[in-house]
Structure 1
């Protein structure tokens, strides 16, 4: 708020107070006169205040004008000084640039002179070094030629002596070798005749073994060409695998898997059934279609594609028929599994059957028959053996749970016994506390009684109370 407004308010307040005082002290006529006087004073005061305000504004405007002029003059002077300094700096920079350029030119000239002198000195030094090396090489070459001549002469002399010595020694060795060769030749010829005789005997023996082997091969061929013999061969191999991989109670032979049927499968794996004590059979039958397989091998060896394709289709048809026959004779859920295993006794036959496109999947889908070779059947039997072990562990785990249940029951009884013992101990503790109270009461009563020495006390009550050692002996005896 400006000072003039403050003064005006103060004047108005003073006038109001004067009017109030005058109203209390005088009448209406005097009040009117005084009001007129106050009005005149007020008008004069207002004019005075307006004049002072106008004068103050004029002074303030003049002060602002002087300040603006002063600031403008200072800025002009500073600009002029700054321009002068910039001009001086430019002149100094130009002088520095000129001096630097001159110095660089001088330095470049000096460097060029030094480089030229260095090249000249290096050229002279290299020329001197080349001349020195040429001289040294010439001297070294002459020295080497001289030494090589001496070495050559020495070597020729020594080689001549060595040749003469070697000729004499060779003549001596030839005579010695002729003598020893004659005796050795006679000895070796005799030994060679003996060795040849033994070898002929061994060859004769080998021919006899070859005849026996040919006889065995013929017998094997007759076995493989006989249907019954082939079946026995596959059955024997299957039985050997089962005997190696499973225990006797885990499989059976010649089993009637279908109730009321006379058809018996060669082998069946005994698997746990759904009911306790029941059995579920997995039928396994061995087949060996050697004629079809042999025709296929002969066609492949002869590189006859048509014959090989025909023999392959015949083999595939034979395997399908055998799978269908096994499924119809031996698979009867829930007495058996819903699938059976067709065992092929050789890996080559198994590989050829597996190689037929879609045959393995079709047999599983249409007839629920799984084809297995020796290696595949071993893996299957190993998996079943692991399953049997897992089942045995599960059965034993149920027994363990039963034992744990019994232990839990006994542990509950043991907890009851512990609670009873705790109660008895608490009661004994209470009795001991009561005894301690009585003991302290007796001690308070006996404080006024004079104590005796240990000897006197022993004399008085030793015969009545037993000694601590006697108590221990009695306790140990009891």
Structure 2
């Protein structure tokens, strides 16, 4: 292989030298040189191929020989290792068998001891559990007996209390049934129903208005013998009184028939009962208009009071309010609307009283203003007099006192009792000296400056 490489390198050098020597030769010589080079290269290539094949054959023989030797060596080594492993496994198996036998014997001994210990422990545990179960059973029996006795006692007491409440409720229900029966009996009469409405209306008036703001059983029309149940006093012209008549009506039978018809679900019966109720309400409104409403002695309208909200709602739903106001000048009121109407009247009374009192208040304020002006003038005069008095006191205390002190400077002072006795002054021991007022005022002019 190395030989071929060297040969190829020599040819290349030779070609280079020839090319260099014939660099300026004609083209024919160059062609001959190229032909020679081609022949030379072909010959060398054949020689190279032959030598390469020979080298490859020799290398293959050497490789086969080496591989066969390595295989034989490996086979012998594997056989040795196999026999060695077989011997080692046999020894380890025997050792393992001996250890397993020893371990089985030891485990059997320990298991026997554990079984014996476990049996003893289980026997002791069973005995202890049996004893504790007996104690627990005894305690539970006692507690259950006490709890059961207590629960039974409490249950009987609760049942007795509830039975007492039931008996009491039954008694109250009987009383209520009797009261309902009495109320039904009361409501069954026309006169008693009217009295009930009057009582309710009177209670509302008494709660909202003052006693002097309404009256009962009033003949609202002068010379008439018809008297309305209640009438509210409203201020009229020249301090007179205008009455607002309020009459209570309770068409209980007609309203009861309407409720029965509504409960039965018969549309025709409901329509007939509603028509009958409308006729009764119209008749009552007409009666109030003819008997109690007469302007200017009364207001231009009267009030028809219905004592139950359900009856009032039925009248409102039927659309009678506008018709009664338009045809008979009568307003319909239930308990709640009556209270609202009276509250509005009460506010009107208060507003009227405020208006009446406002003129009196203005008169009082005018008189106070006049007297206050006089009071201011008097205060001014008093202030002037006080100023003059202050000036006179300053003159008296300043000038007169200095003149007296100057005259008495050489006179010896006496003690207080002697001076008081001599000058006829009132003096108390330890107190100030008080001079007596002179009987005549002419001594003031005897002082000299």
TM-score, length-normalised on structure 1? Answer: 0.51
1:167-200 C-alpha deviation (Å, 9 max, x unpaired): 9988865653333223332343344344434443
Report the number of matched residues.
285
Choose the corresponding residue for 2:159, options 196, 199, 215: 196
1:132-158 C-alpha deviation (Å, 9 max, x unpaired): xxxxxxxxxxxxxxxxxxxxxxxxxxx
Aligned: 1:345 with 2:307: yes
**Matches of 1:379 and 1:268, distance apart in 2:** 16
Choose the corresponding residue for 2:347, options 352, 374, 386: 386
Residue of structure 2 equivalent to 1:182:
145
1:91-141 C-alpha deviation (Å, 9 max, x unpaired): xxxxxxxxxxxxxxxxxxxxxxxxxxxxxxxxxxxxxxxxxxxxxxxxxxx
Shift of 1:458: 6.1
Residue of structure 2 equivalent to 1:249:
212
**Matches of 1:458 and 1:351, distance apart in 2:** 105
**Matches of 2:325 and 2:344, distance apart in 1:** 19
Per the alignment, in what secondary structure is the counterpart of residue 297 of structure 2? coil
Per the alignment, in what secondary structure is the counterpart of residue 283 of structure 1? strand
Aligned: 1:224 with 2:187: yes
Stretches of structure 1 lacking an aligned partner (at least 5 in a row): 1-163, 433-454, 464-472
Choose the corresponding residue for 1:275, options 235, 238, 241: 238
**Matches of 1:355 and 1:410, distance apart in 2:** 64
Per the alignment, in what secondary structure is the counterpart of residue 263 of structure 1? coil
Coordinate RMSD, CA, aligned:
4.0
Residue of structure 2 equivalent to 1:38:
none
Aligned: 1:322 with 2:284: yes
Per the alignment, in what secondary structure is the counterpart of residue 370 of structure 1? strand
**Matches of 1:391 and 1:476, distance apart in 2:** 66
Shift of 1:408: 3.7
**Matches of 1:395 and 1:462, distance apart in 2:** 77
**Matches of 1:291 and 1:337, distance apart in 2:** 31
Taking a change above 3 Å as real, the CA distance of residues 314 and 412 of structure 1, as seen in their structure-2 partners, is same
Shift of 1:461: 9.1
Taking a change above 3 Å as real, the CA distance of residues 185 and 333 of structure 1, as seen in their structure-2 partners, is same
**Matches of 1:329 and 1:346, distance apart in 2:** 24
Shift of 1:351: 1.2
Residue of structure 2 equivalent to 1:212:
175
**Matches of 1:261 and 1:198, distance apart in 2:** 65
Taking a change above 3 Å as real, the CA distance of residues 169 and 349 of structure 1, as seen in their structure-2 partners, is farther
**Matches of 2:403 and 2:278, distance apart in 1:** 120
Taking a change above 3 Å as real, the CA distance of residues 202 and 419 of structure 1, as seen in their structure-2 partners, is closer
1:401-442 C-alpha deviation (Å, 9 max, x unpaired): 12123234435555776898899999x8xx99xxxxxxxxxx
Stretches of structure 2 lacking an aligned partner (at least 5 in a row): 1-125, 393-401, 411-432, 439-449
Residue of structure 2 equivalent to 1:365:
326
Shift of 1:235: 0.3
